[in-house]
Structure formats: C-alpha cells, structure tokens
Amino acid sequence: MTEPAVALHEVRFAYRGSANVLDIPALHIARGERLFLHGPSGSGKTTLLGLIAGVLAPTSGRVQVLGTDLGALGSAQRDRFRAAHIGYVFQMFNLIPYLSVRENITLPVRLSSARRERLAGTDADREAARLAAGLEIDGLLDAPTAALSVGQQQRVAVARALMGAPELIVCDEPTSALDSDRRERFLELLFDSVQNAGSTLVFVSHDLALATRFGRTVALTQVNRSSSVVAA
Amino acid sequence: MYLVSLAWRSLRARLTISLLTIASIALSVALLIGIEHLRVGVRESFAGTIKGTDLIVGARGGTTQVLLSTVFGMATPSGSISWDTYERWKAHPAVAWTIPYSLGDSHRGFRVIGTTAEFFERYRFRDQTVTFASGRAPTTDREVAIGYEVAQRLRYTLGAEIVLAHGVAEVSFAEHEVHPFTVVGIIARTATPIDRALYVTLEGLTEMHAAENERGGGLMMGPPAQHTHDEPPITAFLLGTKNRFETLQLQREMNEDRSEPLTAIIPGVALAQLWDVVGNAEQALRLVSLFTLLVGLLGMCVALYASLESRRREMAVLRAIGAGPRSIVALLVSESALLALSGAIAGVVLVYAGLALAAGPVEARYGFALTMTGLGSTEWIFLALVVLAGTLVGLVPAWKAYRSSLADGLSVKV
C-alpha cells in the first residue's frame, strides 16, 4: 500500500492536431484519499479522467494507477485494468437503457472476470442488493431504468461503480444534474459507500461549494500549465 | 457469452425497428428458399412426366420436337411412321414392349391420342401408372377415355358423346361428325399433360378417317397419312427394352437405320436438355431473389448504423466499465448476426407456412406437387450465407462505433 492510487509525472496530452489540453508536471493522489478536483468547464477535467482511467494515452509523460504504469500496457490491457480496478460515474446518462437496475449494477462483474473475483465470496445479485440498500435504491432493483429519476439514476451509477469494490472510484460531475437537497444526500451516501469499500475517490466538479466535504481540493488550473490556453 | 445476451437485450429494446429488419430479411430469405423449393418441385414434376420408357421414337426430326409432341402435347409431330416399320422394331429382340401413338386430331383444343391398351398398362409418370377416376380404357373404335382436366373443363361425364376435329387448333373447320365417340373413362388426375388429352384406340382413328374419306370429305391433309384401311397410322411410339443397358445401342441402331428415317430419344436426356432451356428463367428468378436479400441486408445495415448516433452514450458507458473497442465491435456484430439469424429462421418458417397454404391451390391450378420436404443442401448453404453476410454487414456499423468510441472515449459531445 505504499504506492499512491494515482501518480502523474510530466504528463502532456493533446488531441490530434491541436495544442496541449493538459500539461501536468505532477499530481499524486494517496490511497484512501477523497480528492475534490476543481475546474471550470473546458479545463480538461474529463480528459484528465480519461488518462487516469486509461481510455486515453498521454502524448508524453507517465500515468501510474495503483502502482501500474498505464503507458506500459497496450490499449486492451488498459481496458482490462480499468474493468478490474476502477469504477466510473458520469455526469448523467450512466445507465444502459435496455437493462434493468439490477443488471446495470452487476454489469462490471459480468463483463470482467477480474472484477468478478473481487466479489470475494458473495454473488453478484447479493452484492448488488447490499450496495443498493446502502444507496437507498433497493426498492428499484427490478425497475426499468426509464422509470428512474435523475437522482436515482446517479445512485445506480454509484452502486455499479462500487460493484466488486474497485480501488479507485472516479466521478465526473456526478451531482451537476441534481438539485441541492438531493446533492447533499447523494454525497453522504457516496462517501459512506466508498468508505465501506475502502476505495480512493476522485471527484471532479466545477461547483466549489462541494469542496468543503472532501479531504483535499486540487484546482486543475493550478496543476495544469496549459489551462490558460484551453480556457481562452 | 455475455455480449450476445447484451446484444439480444439491446435489440429487444428497439423492438419495432428490430422486427421490421427481421421481417425484411425473413421475406427475402423466404423468397430465396421458396424459389429454390419451387424450382426443385417443378423440376421433379417435369422430370416425372414420363418414367419407365427407355426410348421415344418419332419420324426424323428434332429431339425437342419429338419430346414436345409425344409427351407434352405441344408442337406438331415430325411426321408419320409406317406400320411396317413399327412392327419391325416391335419385333426387335431388345424390345420388351411398345406403345404406339397417333397424333393429329383434337377435341375443342385438347389433343386426341390414338393408342392401344399398352398405354394404360405401361405408361408411367412419377412411378405411377394411369388409373381411372371412373370408367375404363377404350376398347372399341367408338370409345374414348378423357383426361381429368378435359372432363373438368368441358364438364363431360361417362356416356357423353363427342366429335373429334382434324388438326389441333381450338376452332377447327373439319369435324369428324360422321364418327362420334362415347366417353367410357375419365382418367384420374396425373398432374401431367395426360390430364389435357383424350385417348382413343388406333382402330377408332382409322375408322373415323375412313368414314370421312368414304363420305368424300376432301379436307384430309397432312399427318397422319393413311396407307390402307387396316393399317392405322402412327406418329410415334414409346418402347421399353428387355435390358436397359441395350437402350443406347438400340437408339443408335434406330437413328442410323436407312429404311425409314427415325429419331429415337431417351426421355430423361431429352427432358434434361429441355430443362436447360426452360431453366434460364429460374436463374433470373434466383438472381432477383438474391438482390432482394441484398436489399434486406442493406436495410439492416442502415437501421443499425442509424441507431449508433443515439447509442454513443451507451458505448461510452460500456467503455468506462472496461469494455474495449473490440467488445463494442463484438456487440454490434452480435446484433447484426442475431438479426440475420432471426430473419433466416423466420424466413424458413414463412416458407413452410406458405408451402402448407399454397400446396393445394398450386397443385390444383398448375398441376405439380409442392412437397413439404426438408431443406436441401443448397438451401442450408443459402441460410448459412445469409447469416454470414448479415454478420459481415454488421462490421460496417461496428467499424463506425469502434471509431467513434475511440474518439469519444468517456466523453460524448452530443
């Protein structure tokens, strides 16, 4: 447990044919940390998360997640790594529309055998029920996703991200579609669930009001040397 | 594999478009298989028109002409054969039996065939002999047995008295009124040209023409040419050999005989040659149905491709969960493969449902049996090709999804 959950070293990223979106000399996120990553829209937050999740590869520099250098892995290996170790929550539209809530939650362990092994004894449906109960959506397990409110959908997305207790949970503006009451409740449930799973949480938002609830806040504009270029 | 079940769920979620796609593939598969089935049915029925006869012998003429005039009741006979010649070949040591045919008269557009009792004993179609729905074979020169369709169309029953006409046109100016015939038999349906013919004895024809001549009717012309009153004229004869291996030898002997020029044909060979001509139409049909299938598959491609734009979020979610671009490709290819497979299965069901419904009317109207046989090897190959082509077509939207999921990553700029 000595190596950090995430370590970026001299990471640069540019979409093909354009200027650098990201130029980050160093960023460390310790294991078990709850990090609030703040940045205005267009500052490259989602791009940074894409690098951490291994969906994107940096133009140069090194991205280490859980001690693994993602640059040393091929794209298919990075996909497998993500499936095994990372849970991801989007801003909205997190759910596969043609699957039920239960099927959405258990999807990671159905797609990845490494993730399935992390279930440690329980079966997928029981684990889904346990996570759903923690997020107060256990009454919705058999509902079609179309019947859910946005807040309920986001909780389902959290339950899915936590399925099989991955080491790293990445949330990309998960609360921006929620009103403030629901936002508070959502954060409480998220923190409890992440704590139970013992995962590291990286939470990205443009809403600084949320920052007080996190252990550490990092402004992307401060760690990213290219931010002025992009923000323009 | 979980992706296949995902693909299935995804298709079910877009039920209407999936069903429409399956329906269009099913229809084209049904067309393809149906035409193949029909083709086999028609060919078998065609090949079964005459069986058990080793040679058909006519006056010197074309193979097709001899076949058409004797077996199918079409075209005019190539000429007549003298009774002596007929007798001579009948007595040939290789010959087991013969059926003489005398053509040249008609009754209200239906052909009249003068023959002997041999016809009712020996003639075979699809391994069946000629049987009677009612009545019996003609035995005297005043009796006629009529085909099933003749009886149906002209509403003749046993005991009806009919007059034959010279020539084969529907409207004839020369009717043999002085020698009427009585219907003594109605032949059971054969689904062959027999249904559209009338059968009289050779003596019947001889007597009729003799009566005509004695009355001084000068309208006689062309075949059958008459020699004397006792020798009935014939235009062709069918024969069976004692040993089928002698057929080729006998055929050569007849074709080379110089005393009276004859053309001897082997029915199976002649039918196959004729089928080659007729068969071009079936190739055209098959081509059309192949194009229909192509259109069906393209429709599927379009439907899947068009759905992709609205599914980019879904792809991003799958990517975030850890599905690689290859899994995205596999998902879409599975979807198109499932659509093609469902279409193929539905198409086969459609064909058999269609066959079950159409068999009766088709046999009644067109006179050939649609059999409910299993799928032939050609049909299995077609089905396999449909599923394969459907799967390959799925690569087009899959490639698009692959490209956009690489470009989108986890963010979708909608």
Closest by Cβ to A111, choosing from B321, B325, B409: B321
Chain B residues 5-24 with CB within 8 Å of chain A: 6, 9-10, 12-13
Chain B nearest C-alpha distance from A109 (Å) = 9
CA distances for B140 relative to B175, B200, B206, B230, angstroms: 20, 8, 12, 15
At which residue do the structure tokens 């270029």 appear?
A: A229
With contact defined as beta carbons under 8 Å apart, do B146 and B183 qualify? yes
A117 touches chain B (CB under 8 A): no
Q: Tell me the ipTM for this assembly.
A: 0.83
Q: What is the pLDDT of residue A120?
A: 76
Residue B26, number of CB atoms within 10 A of its CB: 22
Closest by Cβ to A98, choosing from B9, B321, B323: B9
Reply yes or no on whether the pLDDT at B36 is more than 90: no
| Cα dihedral B144, B148, B153, B158 sign | positive
Residue B226 banded pLDDT, cuts 50, 70, 90: very low
Chain B residues 200-239 with CB within 8 Å of chain A: none
Domain boundaries, chain A: 32-55+72-218
Phi, psi values for residue A193, rounded to 5°: -65, -40
- Cα(B62)–Cα(B124) distance, rounded to whole angstroms? 23
What residues in B contact A90, CB-CB < 8 Å? Answer: 316-317, 320, 410
Region B119-125: what's the mean pLDDT?
A: 90
Give B107's strand partners: B110
Residues in contact with B209: Cβ distance below 8 Å, sequence separation at least 6, in sequence order: B176, B220, B224, B226
- Cα(B386)–Cα(B30) distance, rounded to whole angstroms? 11
Phi, psi values for residue A10, rounded to 5°: 50, 50
What number of CA atoms fall less than 13 Å from residue A100's CA on the CB side? 11
Q: Which pair of structure tokens corresponds to residue B393?
A: 């077509």
- Cα(A191)–Cα(A214) distance, rounded to whole angstroms? 9
Residue A222, number of CB atoms within 10 A of its CB: 10
With contact defined as beta carbons under 8 Å apart, do A94 and A135 qualify? no
Q: What is the pLDDT of residue A173?
A: 83
- Cα(A160)–Cα(A168) distance, rounded to whole angstroms? 13
Cβ of B320 within 8 Å of Cβ of A88? The answer is yes
Region A82-101: what's the mean pLDDT?
A: 85
- Cα(B146)–Cα(B123) distance, rounded to whole angstroms? 15
Strands (E), B254-369: 262-265
Closest by Cβ to A110, choosing from B2, B320, B411: B2
Chain A residues 96-115 with CB within 8 Å of chain B: 96-99, 103, 107-108, 110-112, 115
Q: What is the pLDDT of residue B301?
A: 82
With contact defined as beta carbons under 8 Å apart, do B306 and B34 qualify? no
DSSP state of B369: -
Chain A residues 146-205 with CB within 8 Å of chain B: 160, 172
Cβ of B410 within 8 Å of Cβ of A46? The answer is yes
What residues in A contact B6, CB-CB < 8 Å? Answer: 96, 99
Residue B184 banded pLDDT, cuts 50, 70, 90: very high
Residue B365 banded pLDDT, cuts 50, 70, 90: low
Q: What is the pLDDT of residue B266?
A: 92
Pick the CATH number of A32-55+72-218 from 3.30.70.100, 3.40.50.410, 3.40.50.300, 1.10.20.10: 3.40.50.300
Q: What is the pLDDT of residue B119?
A: 92
Cβ of A53 within 8 Å of Cβ of B320? The answer is yes
Q: What is the pLDDT of residue B401?
A: 81
Give B197's strand partners: B111
With contact defined as beta carbons under 8 Å apart, do B184 and B143 qualify? yes
Closest by Cβ to A55, choosing from B12, B314, B319: B319
- Cα(B204)–Cα(B211) distance, rounded to whole angstroms? 10
Question: What's the maximum distance between 2 C-alpha atoms anywhere in chain A?
Answer: 52
Closest by Cβ to B321, choosing from A49, A103, A107: A107
- Cα(B218)–Cα(B382) distance, rounded to whole angstroms? 62
Q: What is the pLDDT of residue B221?
A: 46
Chain A nearest C-alpha distance from B30 (Å) = 30
Residue B97 banded pLDDT, cuts 50, 70, 90: very high
| Helices marked H in B57-116 | 63-67, 83-90
Cβ of A115 within 8 Å of Cβ of B13? The answer is no
A213 touches chain B (CB under 8 A): no
Q: What is the pLDDT of residue B112?
A: 92
Give yes or no for a cis peptide into A58 (omega within 30° of 0).
Answer: no
Pairing label, strands B262-265, B165-166:
unpaired
Region B43-61: what's the mean pLDDT?
A: 86
Residue type, B154: L
Strands (E), A158-199: 168-172
Residue B366 banded pLDDT, cuts 50, 70, 90: low
Q: What is the pLDDT of residue B198?
A: 94
A19 touches chain B (CB under 8 A): no
| Cα dihedral A145, A178, B319, A199 sign | negative
CA nearest to B320 within chain A = A88
| Cα dihedral A160, A166, A172, A175 sign | positive
Chains A–B, number of C-beta pairs less than 8 Å apart: 72
Reply yes or no on whether the pLDDT at B228 is more than 60: no
Residue B237 banded pLDDT, cuts 50, 70, 90: very high
With contact defined as beta carbons under 8 Å apart, do B59 and B70 qualify? no
| Mutation site, B410, B412, B413, B414, interface A, largest A CB count within 10 A | B410
